Chains A and B, each alone.
Chain A
Amino acid sequence: MQNPYLPYPVRIDEIITETEDKNLKTFKFVFLNKEDEEKFAYRSGQFAELSVTGKGEIPIGIASSPTEKGFVKFTVNKVGLVSTFLHNMKVGDIMGIRGPLGNSYPWEMLEKGKNVVIIGGGFAFTTLRSSIVYMLDPTNRPKFGDIHVIYGARSPGMLLYRDELAKWEARSDINVHITVDGTDDPGWKYNVGFVPAITEKKAPPADENTYAIICGPPVMIKFTQPVLDKQGYGHHNIIMSLENRMKCGIGICGHCNVGKEFVCKDGPVFTLAQLNRMPREY
């Protein structure tokens, strides 16, 4: 019997400070045992429990893409006990990761030529990065229709993955709309405005083959949803990823339920149509 609580041992290979407030860092991990990397076969939208030995575990979305081999990446916000300790760890340190966990975005369905609109805000862009890299992989790109990305942060210095964003922005096979709430940088060449406003201007028209994936802080979601409603997006075509406090990540410890669903096992990805029928306990 495989023990589902046993983390795979990993080594921190690289740490990148992502944002100007230094509260977000990306950790690149390498598996100590090569076989474990194969066992950790994942899909974009899944998460893992990062196990900081002696402190505990935190569920974090997988930011690398299944098409990137030899490592896995996570971007972690400094919040409380475990994430703060992790922020102080060094390249070469040993810890664990457990997963992959959760359901993922509905790739099987999306890969049948669907148009995908990614809408992200703040640091909730990690599994969206994974998804973009995955879709842009040359073998995968033909499986999708048009791809739009709308991504916003408070200021240019708070955007995650800035180098990659710039590269995607310059490509013709993906429409990237980067925005910030405000900036005094005269060289800023992208949008200024909140994500809902940019969505109103830039999101493609709704049709049944177009799916919006939204991840962001609650206020962003609250104001973006009416915009999508107005544009005619059906609730089956709006996909969201939930967060709830977690411990086991495998549907056993009881911490993360929303109604009869476990965010960790039945989610974290749900359509808005599903969420409409669930208690708002997230």
Chain B
Amino acid sequence: MTDARHAVRKTGRHQAKANRQLLYKRVESMKVVKIDKKKWDQGLAALKGVYRIFSPVKMKDAFEFKALEENENPDLGGLNTRLSAKGLIYPQTEAMFTYTLDESREDHHIMSPVETDYSPRAVIGLRPCDADAFLLVQRNFDTPQYKDPYWIDAYEATTIVGLACENPCSTCFCTSAGSGPFNETGLDVLMVETKDGYILKSVTPKGESLIAASGWNDEISPEEAQKQIEPLKTAAEQKISSVVETDQLKNKDAMTIYNAPFWDDVAFACINCGTCTFVCPTCWCFDIQDETHKTEGVRMRNWDSCMFPLFTLHGSGHNPRGEKVQRVRQRFMHKLKYYVDKYNDGIQCVGCGRCVRACPVNIDIRKVCSLMNQPENATCAAQS
């Protein structure tokens, strides 16, 4: 019985893989194409025949990612999206299993896998920082010991077309966080806006397949592309004015930073709203809940936040992080020290600046990071 369920899930996965392999075959070598603005719609329409497309679209008061309708176009001109792209791979709320409590059914009280659509999808127009964030969180969802099938299947089904960021916000510090406005790691295609259109540069075979499927075939040589991209890249990097030092985080003892004198000051104004964790592309915590309607139900997972007291509350009433300062410290320690120690490959932050922009009381990870990087210099300068 259980095996049949696993089989259902497998077919879904294999199908998605097979689709992609078909696409791979048509490609011989990595290529770069130029798109005239006039040919944009045509290619997009072709892609919609192969992929479900997700892009930033201007909503009421912010840009957000959404699945494009048939005649809908991405809004690529705006500032970065308010929410990160993480929800495209790891939805804010997601069904894990279904069940029935109806005892006349043979499988009552037994969890059944849900059928999720893992057919090829493409994200067009996310920023390189959000793509890099997927690689940081992949370490959490795809481990040697346990594999999170929901995250992995969604990530595998997705082709990522990143839009080089030519107008970074004042709160961005991606170049200090191991990423950058033209960073290609985590992308399948790098897309650069030029005067009269776009340059699309494939980074992976998945990206090659997407370009092939689009019909955009005005190829240019990699050298020519580089010549056009390089000055734009340098200009963008120069616009990033925030520099954050992270070099000492690794060497410092975790307990020294943990016991440093500045945490009360850092946490003072925080209202524990959790906004910083929801907008963040590298925050991954979730809760699991059963939702039952009459006899039918779904086991769901929902984004959760270490900023909430309930996150750690024991059934006995004891709470290991019952104080606000403990929760604020946890968020920063996780991103800037525990993660650094655990994976030895930089901080769990891509410098997108969303938490800085969204925090109602102006708590700024750049300042906290500087304090943590030099805890011995810290007096109580958190808000200065």
Residues of A with Cβ closer than 8 Å to B?
A: 1-9, 32-33, 36, 51, 53-57, 79-80, 83, 93-96, 218, 243-245, 247-248, 250-255, 257-260, 265, 277, 279-282
Contacts and interface: CB of A to CB of B under 8 A. Distances in A.
A95 B140 CA distance: 28
A280 B339 CA distance: 18
A248 B140 CA distance: 12
A contact face: mostly helix, strand, loop, or mixed: loop
Interface string B291-331: 01000010101001010000111111010110000100010
Interface in B144-175: 145-149, 152-153
Given A3-B6, A279-B258, 13 more contacts: A6-B2, A33-B2, A53-B99, A54-B101, A56-B289, A56-B290, A218-B318, A245-B314, A253-B286, A253-B288, A255-B304, A259-B333, A265-B145
Given A243-B314, A259-B338, A260-B341, A6 B288 contact: no
B285 A254 contact: yes
B321 A254 contact: no
B285 A255 contact: yes
Contacts of A258: 320
B289 A251 contact: no
A4 B147 contact: yes
A53 B285 CA distance: 22
Interface string B1-33: 110011001100100000000000000000000
Nearest to B153: A1
A252 B314 contact: no
A6 B285 contact: no
A54 B290 contact: yes
Contacts of A36: 2
A7 B111 contact: yes
Contact of A53 (B101, B286, B289, B330): B101
A9 B326 contact: no
A38 B222 CA distance: 56
A92 B287 CA distance: 29
16 contacts: A5-B288, A36-B2, A51-B111, A53-B99, A53-B109, A53-B111, A56-B290, A83-B315, A96-B110, A218-B318, A243-B314, A245-B314, A247-B287, A247-B304, A254-B284, A259-B333
A54 B294 CA distance: 10
A255 B287 CA distance: 8
Contacts of A279: 255, 258
Given A2-B147, A83-B315, A254 B254 contact: no
Contact of A9 (B6, B110, B316): B110
B384 interface: no
Contacts of B333: 259
A54 B99 contact: yes
What 10 A-B pairs are tightest by C-beta distance, nearest first? Answer: A254-B285, A79-B315, A260-B338, A94-B109, A281-B320, A53-B109, A80-B315, A250-B146, A9-B110, A54-B292
B288 A248 contact: yes
Contacts of A83: 315
A5 B96 contact: yes
Contacts of B306: 254
A83 B313 CA distance: 15
B238 interface: no
B312 A245 contact: yes
Contacts of A2: 6, 147
A282 B110 CA distance: 33
Contact of B290 (A4, A5, A55, A259): A55
Contacts of A3: 6, 9, 113, 149
Contact of B152 (A1, A8, A96, A259): A1
A248 B302 CA distance: 12
B143 interface: yes
B314 to A, nearest CB: 6
B255 A277 contact: yes
B342 A281 contact: no
B146 A252 contact: yes
Contacts of B341: 260
| Most-contacted residue by chain A among B146, B321, B338 (CB, 10 A) | B146
B288 A56 contact: yes
A257 B338 contact: yes
B141 interface: yes
Nearest to B13: A1
Contacts of A265: 145-146
Nearest to A55: B290
Contacts of A257: 330, 334, 338
B37 interface: no
A253 B109 contact: no
B239 interface: no
Given A8-B2, A94-B109, A282 B320 contact: yes
B97 interface: yes
